[in-house]
Structure 1
Amino acid sequence: MLQMYSNVYIGMVTFMLPKIERSGPIPIYQQIKDWMRHNIHEGTWPEHYQLQAEDELAAELNVNRGTLRNAIKSLTDEGLLIRIHGKGTFVAGKKVEQPLAETLITFSEGLIQQHIAYTTSVLRQEIICADEEMAAIFKVSVEEPLLCLQRVRYVEHKPIIFFTNYTPVKYFPQIELKDFAHRRLFDVMEYDYRVKISWAQRYFEACVADAQVASALDISVGDPVMYGKQITYSESNIAIEASDIWIRGDSFRLSATVLRGDALNLLNGAPEIMQSIIRI
């Protein structure tokens, strides 16, 4: 039985630290591993949740950093955690994820690169309170003010992409007043607020449209769509944006150039590996 004690408020997310038996038969790293697995399975640490830095977490647990690393490595080997060099340790998604890109571009930037004209309709632009999932992602308290921005991108009057962005307003004061029908969110962040966007976690999966998605994309309920989830980080590794994206299945595909072995040297900093291709 996993024993817990003391509520801990780490990264604005409340959870229980384990009661570690230091003289018992179960190795300390195993006890930490069991505690981490418990947090993942119970949803205390949701998918893509970023763990504390190793030195900070080891101090909270009052254990050697090497012991903590053994627990993290074991869960990484099991596929419950993923480690990104220079970024940190994250809770893995429940499905197999295959990275398709080495460069972060938005879908609107992809359209611009392909010289495809588009327009944007703003469906919702307001301040909301963070729920538990958003609080965990952004490491803020529940009810922290967030911008909720919901839009549809059109190409030749055809709705292609329906998406919702969330971002903490404490980093971007009065961002809810910006004209997002004519400006892109990342441009506002980088140019108006001088926040450097560094990297993101992004995954896609096939699903079917529910009533809200079908209405936004002018398709039927049950039609195939591509669903994407993204969490974007600043150069300080702070989560500053999360988004849910739905793309019409008849208008989008992913393509990737993949290299093997010595052929990787051919990249030489090639600017884009993944492309978003819109079929009109």
Structure 2
Amino acid sequence: MQSSIDRSSPLPFYHQLKLILLAEIERQNCQPGDRLPGDHELCVRYGISRTVVRQALAELEAEGVIERIKGRGTFFAKPKTVEGLVQSLTGLYEDVAARGGHLRSDVRKLAVVPADAQIAADLDIEPDTPVTVVERLRYVDEEPWVLTITHVPADLAPGLVDEDLTDQSLYALLEQKYGVRLVRGRRSVEAAAANPSLARSLGLARGAPVLVLRSVSLGVDDRPVESFVAFHRGDRSRFEVELERSSAPARPLVVVTG
């Protein structure tokens, strides 16, 4: 196990330092929140420049291994949850359960409301058509993780407002009780900064990064049956997509600005 910088090695110093720190984290069995040595201490310990230290730490931070808090120091981070929600029609409940975690929802709103113009467009219905709105602050292993706002046409699940969604999957409920089967959909992910209200809900600093997942799901007759927007903590989540090269003509890249 490397414990010092090998100045004869072709590996860049910052990469060697990164490997040393990863080995130290494993050897010491570091727990989330444990403090790591500061920049100056690492410079002195390994005889390297601050530029080398900062590059190594920047890579570890980008990979979610550490988090650097201004004015406080560098800490071992909680591992980010890898989510496959972009490429498959799973819900967060199923995704977390598949990894052995526990998901609990604080249901903040469950009501039938008239669809506004955006929801009506997403669900291909007329404005003011009744829809059931479900707003949930969702906890993974008792830590606030994501705020989701879901809309379902009220006629598809007429008793949904009376359901307890604290500890059950909305998708499973729609399929098993109301016969609403999700067949395909479209999802997008974008980055955003948490506003004061969202930051309070998720336990973040104002302006902290969040990943915004938007989705519209369609049923067996190609009718939109559900739409949602979910605000995921950027420091706890990453989305993973499997790709394969196809001989079919590529779709144009769509870049949304504004």
Query: Percent of counterpart pairs with the same letter?
Result: 22
Q: Which runs of 5+ in 2 are unaligned?
A: 1-83, 248-258
> RMSD over aligned Cα, in angstroms?
1.9
Asked which structure has the greater CA Rg, the reply is: 2
2:241 is the alignment partner of 1:256 = yes
Query: Closer, same or farther in 2 for the Cα pair 1:170/1:218, shift >3 Å?
Result: same
Q: Distance in 2 between matches of 1:261 and 1:169?
A: 40
1:128 matched residue in structure 2: 113
| Alpha-carbon offset, residue 100 of structure 1 | 8.4
2:122 matched residue in structure 1: 137
Contact 2:103 2:140 (C-alpha < 8 Å) held by counterparts: yes
Deviation larger for 189-198 or 251-260: 251-260
2:193 matched residue in structure 1: 208
Mapping 1:24-173, distance limit 5 Å: 102-173=87-158
> Per the alignment, in what secondary structure is the counterpart of residue 256 of structure 1?
coil
Query: Closer, same or farther in 2 for the Cα pair 1:235/1:217, shift >3 Å?
Result: same
Residue 183 of structure 1, aligned match among 141, 162, 168: 168
> Per the alignment, in what secondary structure is the counterpart of residue 183 of structure 2?
strand
Q: Distance in 2 between matches of 1:191 and 1:120?
A: 20
Q: Distance in 2 between matches of 1:196 and 1:100?
A: 17
Q: Which runs of 5+ in 1 are unaligned?
A: 1-98, 263-280
Q: Distance in 1 between matches of 2:216 and 2:155?
A: 17
Q: What is the TM-score of this pair, normalised by structure 2?
A: 0.60
1:245 matched residue in structure 2: 230
2:219 is the alignment partner of 1:230 = no
Aligned length in residues: 164
Amino acid at match of 2:191: A
Q: What is the TM-score of this pair, normalised by structure 1?
A: 0.55
| Alpha-carbon offset, residue 181 of structure 1 | 1.0
Runs of 4+ residues over 4 Å off in structure 1: 99-102
Q: Distance in 2 between matches of 1:208 and 1:155?
A: 21
Task: Please list the CA deviations of residues 106-160 of structure 1 after superposition, one character each: whole Å capped at 9, or x if unmatched.
Answer: 1221111111122211111111111111122222222111111000111232101
Q: Distance in 1 between matches of 2:204 and 2:235?
A: 10
